[in-house]
């Protein structure tokens, strides 16, 4: 992955003042930002400039952010392009849809530019960790998950988990810092043909916290959306 000074970020935002403010703060941190004011313009720039990350506002003229997100994920050449959504507080349902479509994270308006830059950096760090590993094991503080042996230990002591508990924990460990909706977790761990309720996820999260109490503060409930594993144990 490119160094920070060469990382290109596309800001997709139809309000010029916000776009310029975000651009200014990203440039101060050494990134190379560019701006698109519409969804159609964004897709053209993604194809021509190949950015390393997209900051995508949901409310856009011509083509909204959800359609842009969907288009990015459907094309093989951009399917893995990191997307950070900008959403308004009253767009909760759109936020959920955006995460389901494959956005990696979101920031709610109004936001602090410094907070946004921090989220961008955190997203790049997560991607770098993922790219560096051909994963046979996952570690989170004193927790170690052996994917080959299907074992989880804390401080070297094995913690017995059911298959679904193991799968749920693995999904959290593979996506630290990312908001995971209950539907996303159901699809990833239980499969697309699962017809139970999203309460199943809540029950299994509680079980993980009972078996590993230190996860009580690490797996954070995100109101109305789902859960997030803190970046740091």
Q: What is the DSSP letter of 52?
A: S
Average pLDDT of the residues in 129-140:
73
133: left (phi over 0), alpha (psi -120 to 50) or beta: beta
Q: ∠ at Cα 83 (77, 86), nearest 5°?
A: 150
Q: What's the pLDDT at 194?
A: 53
pLDDT digits (tens, 9 = 90+) for 99-130: 888 788 888 888 888 889 988 988 887 777 65
Q: 5 pLDDT band (50/70/90 cuts)?
A: low
Distance CA 203, CA 50 (A): 42
Provide the percentage of residues in the chain whose pLDDT is more than 90: 55
Domains annotated on the chain, with CATH:
4-131 (3.40.50.2300), 134-229 (1.10.10.10)
Residue 193 confidence (pLDDT) above 60: no
- Single pTM value for the model: 0.66
184 alpha-carbon distance from chain centroid: 11
Q: Tokens in use for 44?
A: 């053209």
The more confident residue out of 196 and 151 is: 151
The answer to which of 17-21, 35-39, 83-87, 90-94 has the lowest mean pLDDT is: 90-94
- pLDDT band of 1, cuts 50, 70, 90: very low
> Mean pLDDT for the chain?
87
Quote the pLDDT of residue 183. 85
| pLDDT of residue 195 exceeding 80 | no
Question: Which range scores top for mean pLDDT: 46-55, 142-151, 179-188?
Answer: 46-55
Measured CA to CA, the distance from residue 185 to residue 100 in angstroms comes to 10
Question: Cα–Cα–Cα angle for 138, 76, 54, nearest 5°?
Answer: 75
- The answer to whether residue 135 scores a pLDDT higher than 80 is no
């Amino acid at each position: 992955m490119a160094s920070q000074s060469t990382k290109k970020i596309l800001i997709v935002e139809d309000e010029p003042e916000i776009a310029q403010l975000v651009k200014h703060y990203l440039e101060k941190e050494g990134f190379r930002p560019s701006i698109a004011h519409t969804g159609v313009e964004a897709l053209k720039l993604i194809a021509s400039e190949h950015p390393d990350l997209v900051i995508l506002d949901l409310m856009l003229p011509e083509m909204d952010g959800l359609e842009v997100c969907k288009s990015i994920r459907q094309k093989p050449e951009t399917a893995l392009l990191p997307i950070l959504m900008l959403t308004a507080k009253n767009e909760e349902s759109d936020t959920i849809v955006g995460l389901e479509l494959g956005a990696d994270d979101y920031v709610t308006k109004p936001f602090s530019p410094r907070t946004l830059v921090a989220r961008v950096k955190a997203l790049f760090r997560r991607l770098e960790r993922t790219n560096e590993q051909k994963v046979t094991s996952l570690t989170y503080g004193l927790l170690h998950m052996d994917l080959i042996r299907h074992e989880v230990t804390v401080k070297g002591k094995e913690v017995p988990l059911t298959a679904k508990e193991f799968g749920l924990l693995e999904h959290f460990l593979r996506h630290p810092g990312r908001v995971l909706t209950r539907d996303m977790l159901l699809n990833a761990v239980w499969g697309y043909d699962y017809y139970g309720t999203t309460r199943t996820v809540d029950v299994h999260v509680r079980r993980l916290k009972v078996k590993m109490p230190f996860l009580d503060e690490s797996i954070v409930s995100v109101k109305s959306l789902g859960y997030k594993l803190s970046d740091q144990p």
